[in-house]
Amino acid sequence: MESDHAPPLQETTATTVAGNETVSPSLEFAEPFFRLLKDKVSAYLPEADVARIEAAYRFAADAHSGQTRKSGEIYIIHPLAVASVVADWHLDPQALCAALLHDVVEDTFTSVAEIAERFGQPAAELVDSLSKLDRLKFRSNEEAQAANFYKMLLAMSTDLRVILIKLADRLHNMRTLFVMRPEKRRRIAGETLEIYAPIARRLGLDGIFQELEDLSFVNKYPWRHGVLERAVAAERNNRKRLIAQLQSGIEERLPQWGVKAEVQGREKRLYSIYIKMKERIAEARHGHGHIHPMGEKRHAFSHVYDIHGFRLIVPDVAACYLGLGALHSIYQPYPGRFKDYIAIPRENGYRSLHTTLIGPGGVLAEVQIRTREMHRIAESGVAAHWLYKDDDKNINELQQQTHAWLQSLLELQINSGGASEFLEQVKINLFPGEVFVISPKGRIFSLPSGSTPVDFAYAVHTDVGHRCVGCRINSHSMPLHTELQSGDQVEIITSAYPSPNPAWLNYVRTGRARAKIRHFLKNKQQDEAIDLGERLLNLALRPHGFTAEEISPTAWERFLRDRGVASIRDIYADIGLGNRMPVAVARRLLLAQKRVEGGTDKEKMGENAADMPRLKIHGGESGTMHLARCCQPIPGDPVVGLIRRGHGLEIHLQDCHVVARMRGHHLGRWVDADWEPDETKLFNVTIRILCRPGHNMLVRIANAISYADCNIQSAVMDQSEAAASMTLRMILLITLQVRSRQHLAQVMRRVRLVPEVVRIARVKQGG
Q: What is the pLDDT of residues 318-374, one digit of tens each?
A: 999 999 999 999 999 888 788 888 888 877 778 899 998 888 877 888 899 999 888
Q: Please, which residues have CB within 8 angstroms of residue 48's CB and are 6 or more apart in sequence?
A: none
Region 481-499: mean pLDDT is 88
pLDDT digits (tens, 9 = 90+) for 298-314: 445 555 556 778 899 99
Q: Are residues 371 and 238 in the same domain?
A: yes
Diameter of the chain measured on Cα atoms: 112
What residues are annotated to the active site?
Answer: 106-107
Q: Are residues 216 and 233 in the same domain?
A: no
Contact 229, 189 (CB under 8 A): no
Query: Where in the sequence is the domain holding 24, given as residue range(s)?
Result: 1-124
Of the spans 95-109, 302-316, 610-624, which averages the highest pLDDT? 95-109
User: Could you tell me the pLDDT band of residue 10, with boundaries at 50, 70 and 90?
Assistant: very low
**Beta carbons within 10 angstroms of residue 372's beta carbon:** 12
Element (H, E) at 691: strand 683-691
CA distance 206 to 200: 7
Q: Residue 721 has what pLDDT?
A: 53
Residue 656's closest CA among 630, 681, 678, 634? 630
User: Could you tell me the pLDDT band of residue 493, with boundaries at 50, 70 and 90?
Assistant: very high
Final residue in a domain of this structure, among 124, 154, 175: 124
Least confident of 226-240, 246-260, 347-361, 661-675: 661-675
CA distance 48 to 54: 10
Domain presence at residue 292: no
Helix, strand, or coil (residue 730):
strand
Region 121-143: mean pLDDT is 69
CA distance 169 to 196: 11
Q: Is the pLDDT of residue 115 over 50?
A: yes
**Cα 530 to chain center, whole Å?**
30
For 649-679, b/e burial (b = at least 16 CB within 10 A) is bbbbbeebebbeeeeeeeeebbbebebeeee
Q: Is the pLDDT of residue 258 over 50?
A: yes
Q: Residue 531 has what pLDDT?
A: 84
How far separated are the first and last CA of the chain, in Å rounded? 59
CA distance 378 to 388: 12
Residue 762's DSSP bridge partners are 687
Q: Are residues 377 and 243 in the same domain?
A: yes
Burial class of residue 436 (count of CB atoms within 10 Å of its CB; 0-12, 13-18, 19+): middle
**Beta carbons within 10 angstroms of residue 94's beta carbon:** 23
Contact 79, 102 (CB under 8 A): yes
Q: Residue 290 has what pLDDT?
A: 45
Q: Is the pLDDT of residue 592 over 80?
A: yes
Q: Residue 11 has what pLDDT?
A: 38
Angle in degrees, CA 434, 440, 441, rounded to 5: 100
Q: Are residues 248 and 374 in the same domain?
A: yes
Q: CA separation (Å) from 256 to 225, 246, 259, 371, 372?
A: 42, 16, 7, 19, 21
Contact 367, 312 (CB under 8 A): yes
Least confident of 253-257, 360-364, 477-481, 695-699: 360-364
Domain presence at residue 277: no
Tell me the CB-side half-sphere exposure of residue 96, using CA atoms within 13 A: 26
Which letter does DSSP use for residue 194 in this model?
I
Q: Residue 618 has what pLDDT?
A: 72
Q: Are residues 86 and 212 in the same domain?
A: no
Name the more confident of 435 and 552.
552
Region 518-543: mean pLDDT is 84
Name the more confident of 225 and 445.
225
Q: Is the pLDDT of residue 281 over 80?
A: no
| 578 φ/ψ sector (left φ>0, alpha ψ -120 to 50, else beta) | left
Contact 62, 79 (CB under 8 A): no
Q: Is the pLDDT of residue 207 over 60?
A: yes
Q: Residue 129 has what pLDDT?
A: 79
Burial class of residue 54 (count of CB atoms within 10 Å of its CB; 0-12, 13-18, 19+): middle
Q: CA separation (Å) from 268 to 192, 362, 540?
A: 20, 17, 74
Which letter does DSSP use for residue 74 in this model?
B
Region 93-104: mean pLDDT is 92
Residue 646's closest CA among 588, 567, 575, 571? 575
User: CA 570, 574, 577, 582 torsion: positive or negative?
Assistant: negative
**Cα 607 to chain center, whole Å?**
57
Region 411-415: mean pLDDT is 57
Domain presence at residue 450: no
Least confident of 218-227, 392-401, 585-594, 597-606: 597-606
Region 634-644: mean pLDDT is 86
Q: Are residues 552 and 603 in the same domain?
A: yes
User: Kind of pairing, strands 639-644 and 648-653?
Assistant: antiparallel
Q: Could you give phi then psi for residue 431, rounded to 5 degrees?
A: -120, 65
Domain presence at residue 513: no
CA distance 517 to 366: 41
Q: Is the pLDDT of residue 277 over 70?
A: yes
Q: Is the pLDDT of residue 51 over 50?
A: yes
Q: Are residues 572 and 690 in the same domain?
A: no
Region 233-247: mean pLDDT is 79
Name the more confident of 354 and 722.
354
CA distance 320 to 335: 19
Q: Is the pLDDT of residue 746 over 90?
A: yes
Q: Is the pLDDT of residue 133 over 60?
A: no
Contact 191, 233 (CB under 8 A): no
Q: Residue 315 has what pLDDT?
A: 92
Element (H, E) at 105: helix 104-107
Sheet with strand 468-473: strands edge to edge: 476-478, 468-473, 490-494
Of the spans 132-141, 153-162, 440-449, which averages the highest pLDDT? 440-449
Q: Residue 427 has what pLDDT?
A: 58
Share of the chain above pLDDT 70, in %: 77
Q: Is the pLDDT of residue 747 over 80?
A: yes
Region 385-414: mean pLDDT is 57
Task: Report the domain count for the chain.
Answer: 6
CA distance 198 to 156: 14
Q: Residue 306 has what pLDDT?
A: 60
Which letter does DSSP use for residue 5 in this model?
B
pLDDT digits (tens, 9 = 90+) for 24-38: 555 677 888 999 999
Of the spans 147-151, 395-399, 737-741, which averages the highest pLDDT? 737-741
Contact 317, 342 (CB under 8 A): yes
CA distance 55 to 700: 92
Q: Are residues 6 and 112 in the same domain?
A: yes
Q: Please, which residues have CB within 8 angstroms of residue 259's CB and are 6 or more apart in sequence?
A: 314, 319, 322, 323, 326
Q: Residue 496 has what pLDDT?
A: 86
**Beta carbons within 10 angstroms of residue 360's beta carbon:** 15
Residue 169's closest CA among 3, 7, 402? 3
Residue 671's closest CA among 579, 578, 604, 764? 578
CA distance 553 to 558: 9
Q: Are residues 18 and 83 in the same domain?
A: yes
User: Could you tell me the pLDDT band of residue 60, with boundaries at 50, 70 and 90?
Assistant: very high
Q: Is the pLDDT of residue 14 over 50?
A: no
Q: Is the pLDDT of residue 42 over 60?
A: yes
Q: Is the pLDDT of residue 395 over 60?
A: no
Domain presence at residue 451: no
Region 111-130: mean pLDDT is 88
Q: Are residues 696 and 583 in the same domain?
A: no
Name the more confident of 429 and 618.
618
Q: Please, which residues have CB within 8 angstroms of residue 362's CB and are 6 or more apart in sequence?
A: 305
Q: Is the pLDDT of residue 13 over 50?
A: no
CA distance 120 to 439: 49
Helix, strand, or coil (residue 122):
helix
Q: At what angle do helices 392-415 and 372-380 cross, to 10 degrees?
A: 30
The amino acid present at 654, given as its one-letter code, is: Q
Q: Are residues 53 and 174 in the same domain?
A: no
CA distance 621 to 528: 11
Least confident of 98-107, 121-130, 250-259: 121-130
pLDDT digits (tens, 9 = 90+) for 668-717: 678 888 888 776 788 889 999 998 888 888 888 999 998 888 988 888 87
CA distance 767 to 748: 17
Region 127-153: mean pLDDT is 62
> What length does the chain have?
767
User: Could you tell me the pLDDT band of residue 610, with boundaries at 50, 70 and 90?
Assistant: very low
Residue 376's closest CA among 165, 212, 214, 206? 206
Q: Are residues 713 and 756 in the same domain?
A: yes
| 66 φ/ψ sector (left φ>0, alpha ψ -120 to 50, else beta) | left
Q: Residue 227 has what pLDDT?
A: 87
Contact 106, 5 (CB under 8 A): no
CA distance 582 to 566: 18
Final residue in a domain of this structure, among 333, 359, 387: 387
Residue 314's DSSP bridge partners are 371
The amino acid present at 233, given as its one-letter code, is: A
Share of the chain above pLDDT 90, in %: 22
Name the more confident of 21 and 228.
228
CA distance 494 to 463: 9
CATH number at residue 740: 3.30.70.260
CA distance 134 to 181: 20
Which letter does DSSP use for residue 507 in this model?
T
Residue 611's closest CA among 544, 701, 561, 560? 544
Mean pLDDT of all residues belonging to the chain: 79
Final residue in a domain of this structure, among 78, 101, 124: 124
Q: Is the pLDDT of residue 621 over 80?
A: no
Least confident of 318-327, 591-600, 630-639: 591-600
Domain presence at residue 338: yes
